[in-house]
């Protein structure tokens, strides 16, 4: 690789990593400010849980729709244009979030923000995967995720220093500043090669359903990631409620829990990146971490008399054990051709995030029949078994040549 190309690749990695940093900051911010912000706009203590889940579901539904939108645009118009459009939308939405006065307006703005947030990771990972040498691309996606996931820590830190409204303004401002850095970003060479080929179908989501084999491969790519968002979106976000059932010695702080969970995820993403390069296998790496995540959740749900300090360490461990996010997205990128790669890489993680909606419904249903802890055991058990089965059905893609198209 000549010096000019090295500089281009380095810039792409930096921009993708910082973009994901802002993306994660905005994505988890509601979980961090949930109790304070809802209380301030007049939500009663009794409704904090249900109204919070409703708003999270709206954000996740936005992510699901946004994944379809930005994924197809990424394959039709280019990865870089998606990076610009998505960050502009969610930055403006987050600024608007500082002005909400009701649960419905809160939910609507989080839905719009979710649409914007959906485009960031998939476009960035696709760009990095298509630009780097195939032997080293795991390192590139590792850096993107490792830096990006620290955005959760930033969200908690900013909220501890400022109000929930200011926290949203900071997130929107960071996004708008990032647009300036993106002016020097270069488009993927693989995309440029097929951009003018009219016979090649680009960004056609329905191509994923053209054959049973392709559809199942896509479905399995989604299913291997679903335990992660249950850990973050339910087990940590609702730590106050879990702490009460566990007899915690003090009220557990979701903001700090999320910060340390994402510290763990960032460390885990770096570790899984190195491990997959050492083992030369992404499948083996994700398998190991699925087992770890099941163990960490069992430890959390059986920690009677939990203290705040113990909770933080458990969050760090749970985060580390689900720190296969970058590897999961890389697996999805490597499974499909250039003409639908952005579609897959953008929709798959957002369908995983969107899967939190039915997971939340299942969890709430079971929690009403049993307890929060019993419901969490059942849901995590189901998700882990499904994810392990899906992983067993996917082919290893380490070192795979990505310069091809789907027909």
Contact 294, 351 (CB under 8 A): no
The pLDDT value recorded for residue 121 is: 76
Query: Please, which residues have CB within 8 angstroms of residue 392's CB and are 6 or more apart in sequence?
Result: none
Establish if 339 belongs to a structural domain: yes
Q: 269: buried, middle or exposed (CB in 10 Å: 19+, 13-18, 0-12)? A: buried
Residue 35 CA, chain-centre distance (Å), reads: 22
Packing angle of the helix pair 254-279, 137-148 (nearest 10 deg): 170
The pLDDT value recorded for residue 5 is: 65
Based on the structure, what is the number of domains in the chain?
Answer: 1
Q: How many helices (H) and strands (E) are present in the chain, helices listed first?
A: 19, 0
Both tokens assigned to 101: 């006065």
Establish if 197 belongs to a structural domain: no
Establish if 88 belongs to a structural domain: yes
**Residue in the structure block whose two tokens are 């909606």:** 357
Picking from 125, 131, 167, 173, the residue whose alpha carbon sits closest to that of residue 147 is 125
Establish if 203 belongs to a structural domain: no
Establish if 345 belongs to a structural domain: yes
Which CATH number do you get for residue 315?
1.20.1250.20
Establish if 96 belongs to a structural domain: yes
Instruction: Map residue 336 onto helix, strand or coil.
Output: coil
Q: b/e for 76-104, b at 16 or more Cβ within 10 A?
A: bbbbbbbbbbbbebbbbbbbbbbebeebe
Mean pLDDT in runs of 10 for the chain (407 residues)? Answer: 64 83 86 89 87 88 87 81 84 92 94 88 79 78 79 86 93 87 66 70 81 92 91 89 92 85 86 88 94 96 92 94 87 85 85 85 93 95 96 87 75
Establish if 190 belongs to a structural domain: no
The pLDDT value recorded for residue 187 is: 64
**Total number of residues shown for the chain:** 407
Establish if 348 belongs to a structural domain: yes
Domain that holds residue 137: 3-183+210-393
């Amino acid at each position: 690789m000549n010096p000019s190309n090295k500089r281009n690749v380095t810039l792409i990695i930096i921009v993708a990593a910082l973009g994901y940093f802002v993306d994660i900051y905005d994505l988890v911010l509601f979980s961090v400010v949930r109790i304070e912000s809802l209380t301030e706009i007049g939500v009663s203590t009794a409704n904090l849980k249900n109204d919070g889940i409703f708003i999270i579901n709206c954000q996740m539904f936005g992510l699901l729709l946004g994944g379809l939108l930005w994924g197809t645009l990424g394959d039709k118009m280019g990865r870089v244009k998606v990076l610009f459009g998505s960050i502009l939308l969610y930055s403006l939405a987050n600024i608007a979030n500082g002005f909400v006065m009701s649960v419905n307006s809160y939910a609507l703005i989080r839905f719009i923000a979710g649409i914007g947030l959906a485009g960031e990771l998939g476009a960035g990972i696709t760009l990095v995967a298509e630009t780097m040498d195939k032997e080293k691309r795991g390192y590139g996606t590792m850096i993107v995720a490792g830096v990006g996931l620290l955005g959760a820590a930033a969200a908690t830190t900013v909220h501890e220093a400022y109000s929930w409204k200011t926290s949203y303004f900071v997130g929107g401002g960071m996004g708008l500043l990032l647009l300036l850095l993106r002016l020097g970003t270069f488009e993927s060479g693989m995309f440029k090669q097929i951009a003018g080929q009219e016979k090649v179908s680009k960004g056609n989501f329905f191509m994923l359903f053209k054959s049973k084999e392709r559809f199942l491969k896509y479905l399995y790519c989604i299913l291997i990631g679903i335990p992660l968002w249950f850990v973050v979106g339910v087990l940590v976000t609702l730590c106050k409620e879990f702490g009460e059932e566990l007899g915690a010695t003090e009220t557990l702080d979701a903001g700090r829990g999320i910060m340390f969970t994402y510290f763990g995820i960032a460390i885990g993403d770096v570790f899984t990146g190195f491990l997959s390069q050492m083992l030369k296998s992404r499948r083996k790496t994700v398998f190991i971490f699925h087992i770890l995540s099941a163990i960490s959740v069992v430890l959390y749900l059986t920690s009677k008399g939990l203290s705040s300090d113990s909770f933080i360490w458990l969050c760090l461990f749970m985060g580390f054990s689900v720190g296969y996010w970058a590897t999961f997205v890389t697996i999805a990128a490597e499974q499909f051709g250039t003409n639908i790669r952005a579609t897959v890489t953008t929709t798959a993680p957002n369908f995983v995030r969107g899967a939190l909606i039915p997971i939340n419904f299942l969890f709430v249903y079971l929690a009403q029949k049993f307890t929060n802890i019993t419901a969490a055991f059942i849901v995590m058990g189901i998700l882990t078994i499904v994810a392990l089965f899906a992983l067993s059905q996917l082919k290893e893609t380490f070192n795979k040549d990505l310069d091809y198209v789907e027909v």
